[in-house]
A and B are shown apart, each in its own frame.
Chain A
Amino acid sequence: MEKLNNPSEFSLIFKYALKDLSRNYHKISSIIVTLFISLFILSAIFTIEDSLKKELNDNAKALLGGDLEIDYNRNQGNLDLVDKVKEFATVSQMIEFSTMLSTTGREKNKSLFTRIKTVDEKYPLYGNVVYEPIGAYERMQREPNTILINESLSKTLNIKINELVKVQDQNFKVIGIIKSVPDVSGFVAFGDWALAGKQTLEILKLNGIGSFLNYEYKVKFNQNDKPEEIEKRIEEIFKDDQKVKLRYPENSASGIKRIINNFSQFLSLVSISAMLIAGIGIANTLLSFINQNNMSIAVRKAVGFYSGNIKTLYYLQLFILLFIITVVAYASSFLIVPIADKYLSDGLGLNVYPVFSLLNFLKIFLVGLLVLVIFSIPTISSIDQVKASNLFRNVFQNLQFYYSKRSVVLSFVLLSILILLFTVGSEQPSYSLGYFAAFFICLIVFFLLSKLIIFFLKKFKSSSIISLKVSIKNITQTKSITPITVMSLGLGVTLLLTLALVGTNFQREISKSIPDIAPDYFFVGIQKGEREKFEQGILNMDPNASIEIVPMVSSGIVKINGLDPNTYIKPDNDSYWVIGTERRSSWVENIPEDNPILEGKWWDLSNPNQLQISLDAKVAKDLNIQLGDIFTLNVYGREIDGKVINFREVDYRDLSINFAMLFNPQFAKNIPHEYLATAKFNSNKFDETEMLEIMPSLSMIKIADYLSKVTAVLNKVFIAVTLISAVTIVIGLIVISSAIMVQGKVKEYQNLVFKILGFSKKQIIFSSLIEFIIIFKSVILIAIFFAVIGSKFIIENIFELVWMFDFKVLIYLGFSIGFVTLILILLTNLKYLNPKVYPLIRNQ
């Protein structure tokens, strides 16, 4: 843009900008619509993310359950140390465990693997437990053998208040239904769970591994104490206790925060793509708009306006438009929050409220401004091509995008700022950068494709079909809009196909049946002496059942090569779970069939006194473990050094027995252990409740139930992906329509000349059709190629699911997109197909 000479000149231009905008806004309606849709989506993502994070931060103490959490994992811990804390702060003890909960007194009783949380009178230290009926929570603390269950459990087992349920060999009376608990950060958010009083533990037989026991102590500081000082004091008390983990409110809900960040990053990237595609549409529409104003621009130049002034006039109109649209889009995004609130309060027990953030508003405005300026630079620069002398020559001159060195540099700088805005501070900056790189590679490839189409069609000359000749001429003519059509159509179709493939892969994961090798049930909590009893119990019900029983021991990785891994491996590492808490491990004689060795050798039988470790290859890669590395494991309080001697390929998705760590049986068989078992039945005679009669402390996990829970979560993700795809489809179609509109006046004029020369309507429509088919068939092939690569990367690396090529979907979608686009093209072209002669001849 050229500099303005003085403020009065600026105010004059501002006046004209307002006047022009108020009279011409309907001519740029597609800019308004695409900008609004893309800014609205971006605003909605930012607003919900912000509201959610604010909710998590505001309730960090409630989510954690206190000002500080002392986590002893599977052990009761050092109660003397805990007592020391009680001297200067309030401590609430809670223990979580998993066990079977069954209905009683029915003709056919049902059982469910349930997480139970026992709490003392001090719980919750922050926030509230929402339940019904009134007084039930207090009764649970006072009366033994009472329990509160959550809504999901109540629905799944159809349990009513005052009904008796059985946990192990004890009956409990359900005295209320819980709607929500504040500390969802460390507790289960989805699924079936219950609350019980602290006395419950004493009457149940709980074992360390099978019950997935977890001991936690929540601490609330006294109001007048300084939190930093108390924190230091507690850290000092526990400094020598290696089994304990201290957590602070800022670490609360870190898992949820990570999911939110990942998901909002994915949605933001899709929305910025939609916005960049919208940008192409904006450039097209703007060019069409400027072409319509060709004459008035020439007149303005003739009466003394500088080219720079006229360009400023257009930039100002866009700026004003953008400001209004951003305000409306940002305000409208608040309407989405109640929907998100319903969605999240059902799932996570979190409530989100619309939060106005000036920073977010400015960020959205800046993104809109950057996209708008980047795409309008070559368009508005075309104003330089309009000459006042055009007024003396009555030849219709269609303006073209104009690139000067200066404008290219400026566009590049602005684009870099846009990329940085979405990359810096994102959860996975490398993914964002990779995404933008892929976007621009696609853009370049589609540009080159357009040039290739033009090159080959120029060579193709012999045709007696006039419509084909006209369409080839239209594609190959100098200053043809083929490149812009191929790029916008190509990017749009690529994004649509990519999201469609992501969506269908999601859908497949959701609807897929249980893997063939997966068992029907997992059983945990089989004690050393109960193995035969368990096997007999199963075989009595189904003699043909196939049972697999493996030993299981709990151990924690204390050191890797002498160093505490927690000091250098961060929680955002994909395999942090292996070192985060104690893991269950097992031992086997031979290499498991579905766990092939990728590196190293199987057990060294000549060294039975050495603990040898077989490690999941992905974990090894994520944690940078080499063969020969030494793990110091804490097994029942004893530290044992083990050597990593091989890496196995472990696919947890086959739902069979899989462990990250396997030990050599020669060494491990002497470690105190219990058993993990799976069973696959040949009949439906297996009865969970009957099995519980035989082994009351047994826990059973039905794979079908587990999958249905995963399905519920994936379904919610799928809805979000589908919604954002739908938005991109709408934007893509608007862009294609705007690309046709750029040609509108030229087409109308051309069709008029054709009509004068004697072309039939059929021939004109046929030439449009051929033009579309030539472009679309080339675009769709490249788009499918990119969509396959893109969707594979997203599904496998971001969502960590199995990607599968779906030819049917691609064909179906390719034809659908082609058909819809063709209809849109014909509809948009309709008004240009049969131009009214009189107004055009009269230059109206």
Chain B
Amino acid sequence: MSTLLKLKKINLKYQTGKDSISVLKNIDLNIKKKETVSVVGESGSGKTSLIMLIGGLEKATSGKIIFNDQEITSLSEDEVSEVRKKNIGIIFQSFYLIPNYTAVENVALTLELNNFKNPEKEAKILLDRFGLKHRFNNLPSQLSGGEQQRVAIARAIAMKPELILADEPTGNLDTENSIMIANILFKYVKEEGSSLIMVTHDPKLADKAKRKIKIKDGKIK
């Protein structure tokens, strides 16, 4: 399998007043196409920061990130947005749905952004696939946690991205919902051949991935 993502000597520092906190230190990482990777580590170790850097939501202090042979660390914010919108889907622990958009509208938004012809129709097909047919026109506040996360996954995969980034996707869910979400996610990755980088505290979920990376004090162990 060819390489989808390369991280070279990545450093991330945050400035808090006069102090500088080193969040990630000299990270080198290669992710192959169709590979599933789980990232584990203690709270504050830098897991989420790593995902944000890969997703282009944060700029690395130094180092290079190469996605599909394109260095994204040297791109402008809008250029990174363009890469993200076509190739990267992100799933959060807190779902991050737009509160005033219905389930269908939340999913359709990504499709509309990519100029799909029938975004709402496509969104409905996706939601139906995740068992949310009866929730098409509900607002996020009217959905359970599991349902909200399914909508968020549908939104993330709507463009069939090559890479899915998931930050504690089951962190806010009960066991039953966690299992369901994990199954949906891994089934999709397998069927569509996307790569997955998933941050989790759940050892069972982490074990589902082909490769497990442990981060401690900002370094890959």
Contact = CB atoms under 8 A, between A and B. Distances in A.
A758 B58 contact: no
A758 B82 contact: yes
Interface stretch (A416-424, A473-481, A693-701, A708-716): A473-481
Nearest to B51: A841
A252 B187 CA distance: 95
Interface in B78-92: 78, 81-86, 90, 92
A756 B94 contact: no
A755 B56 CA distance: 10
Give the most central of B85, B99, B112: most A CB within 10 Å.
B99
B99 A760 contact: no
Interface string A347-389: 0000000000000000000000000000000000000000000
B78 A477 contact: no
B52 A838 contact: yes
B169 interface: no
Contacts, number: 86
Nearest to A750: B98
B110 A757 contact: yes
A499 to B, nearest CB: 36
Interface stretch (B122-130, B140-148, B176-184, B205-213): B140-148
Contacts of B49: 838
Contacts of B57: 755-756, 837, 841
B73 to A, nearest CB: 16
Given A394-B94, A473-B101, A837-B52, A757 B109 contact: yes
Contact of A758 (B14, B113, B145): B113
Given A473-B101, A758-B113, A397 B141 contact: yes
Nearest to B23: A838
A79 interface: no
B193 to A, nearest CB: 21
A758 B100 contact: no
Given A746-B99, A837-B52, A760 B58 contact: no
Interface size on A, as a range, is: 20 to 34
B95 A395 contact: yes
A752 interface: yes
Contacts of B99: 395-398, 746, 749
A105 to B, nearest CB: 83
A762 B79 CA distance: 12
A469 interface: yes
A756 B14 CA distance: 21
A175 to B, nearest CB: 78
Given A395-B95, A746-B99, A841-B48, A758 B85 contact: yes
B172 interface: yes
Contacts of B188: none
A761 interface: yes
A6 interface: no
B90 A756 contact: yes
Contact of B100 (A466, A477, A841, A842): A477
Contacts of A785: none
A841 B81 contact: no
Interface residues of B, number: 39
B139 interface: yes
A759 B100 contact: no
B202 interface: no
A756 B96 contact: yes
Contacts of A396: 99
Nearest to A394: B94
A843 B94 contact: yes
Contact of B115 (A464, A749, A760): A464
Contacts of B110: 757-758
A66 to B, nearest CB: 74
Given A838-B52, A841-B52, A760 B81 contact: yes
A82 B96 CA distance: 94
B146 to A, nearest CB: 12
A469 B112 contact: yes
A843 B171 CA distance: 14
B113 A757 contact: yes
B130 to A, nearest CB: 18
B77 interface: yes
Contacts of B115: 464, 466
A842 B47 CA distance: 12
A239 interface: no
Interface in A738-761: 746, 749-750, 752-753, 755-761
Residue of B90, B96, B172 with most partner-chain A CB within 10 A: B96
Contacts of A479: 100
B55 interface: yes
A761 B94 contact: no
A480 B100 contact: yes
A842 B14 CA distance: 14
Contacts of B94: 394, 841, 843
A527 B25 CA distance: 109
A393 interface: yes
B194 to A, nearest CB: 16
Given A478-B100, A843-B94, A394 B81 contact: no
Interface of A: 393-398, 464, 466, 469-470, 473, 477-480, 746, 749-750, 752-753, 755-762, 834, 837-838, 841-843
Given A758-B83, A758-B85, A760-B78, 9 more contacts: A393-B145, A395-B148, A469-B112, A478-B139, A758-B84, A758-B110, A760-B82, A761-B77, A843-B94
5 contacts: A393-B145, A480-B100, A757-B85, A841-B167, A842-B48
